[in-house]
Amino acid sequence: MRDTKQKIAAGLEHAFAKGGFAEPSVDDLRVAADVSLRTLYKYAPSRAEMVHIALEHRHQRYLTVVFTDLPAEPDKVLRVAIDRVGYWMNSEASHGCLFHSAVAAAPNDPVLQELLVRHKSEIANTIAQKSHRTGLEVEINLIFEGLTQSYPIHGEEAVFAAQRLAMSLPVTSNS
């Protein structure tokens, strides 16, 4: 059962990342999930739930890519995390942040709003803690958001600029 839900979530994430949130039909989503329509609706009984499942899956994948095996040195944490976001943008999100796109497509969906806030907060809080820059979560969020929003325009130069800005943040704690 867990494997089926993961397969559906991965397929839906891919379909929404490729086609946006308005474009793919339910049948396109079913094909992307590689399940029957009945099975798709069993795990995601509405299109909104399909989006939620896809974004939750993307959130977990993103955290794995960015945070797995970060170095112990605080300044290296920032550089490596920014490099990994650049890699993610190049390979997974060349059109920008899927969470912001989802909220733009359904601005009155409170679940999407919560997913967006949780996703962005978890990134900033984790980076702040691991880089010993607690209390600078807003600054970290601005740097990482700036990177994800400007990457489609500036590519790797956005990565280098984010690294320069991040290195200007002072170490605030030893935690």
pLDDT at 174: 65
The residues of the chain scoring below 50 in pLDDT are none
Lookup result for tokens 């039909």: 25
Contacts of 16 (CB under 8 A, 6+ apart): 24, 51, 54, 98, 102
Mean pLDDT computed over every residue of the chain = 94
Lookup result for tokens 């086609």: 19
- Paired tokens of 2: 């867990």
Lookup result for tokens 């944490």: 77
pTM of the model: 0.91
pLDDT at 50: 97
pLDDT at 113: 96
